[in-house]
């Protein structure tokens, strides 16, 4: 249960930072992957919180938001 809450908090922080980027920097899958790696480089504590394959997890969180950005 505690791990799920940590993941939800981490996801909320990631999405908040993602939406601070200009739309032009969050419209492609490569943007999401680059963002994930940059975020983990700048905030290594996220790796500890998320465990496993953190870059892939973060990129997956962002993929649904890429689709919305491309439609809009």
- Return the domain boundaries, the chain: 2-71
Angstrom distances, CA of residue 20 to CA of 2, 37, 48: 28, 17, 24
DSSP 1-25: -HHHHHHHHHHHHHHHHHTTS-GGG
Tell me the per-residue pLDDT of 25-58, one tens digit each, with 9 for 90 and over. Answer: 998 999 999 999 999 999 888 888 887 788 999 9
What pLDDT was estimated at residue 30? 93
pTM over 0.85? The answer is: no
Residue 59 confidence (pLDDT) above 70: yes
């Amino acid at each position: 249960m505690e791990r799920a809450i940590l993941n939800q908090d981490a996801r909320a922080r990631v999405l908040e930072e993602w939406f601070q980027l200009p739309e032009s920097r969050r419209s492609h899958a490569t943007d999401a992957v680059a963002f994930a790696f940059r975020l983990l480089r700048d905030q290594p504590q996220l790796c500890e919180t998320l465990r496993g394959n953190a870059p892939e997890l973060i990129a997956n969180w962002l993929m649904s938001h890429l689709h919305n950005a491309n439609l809009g």
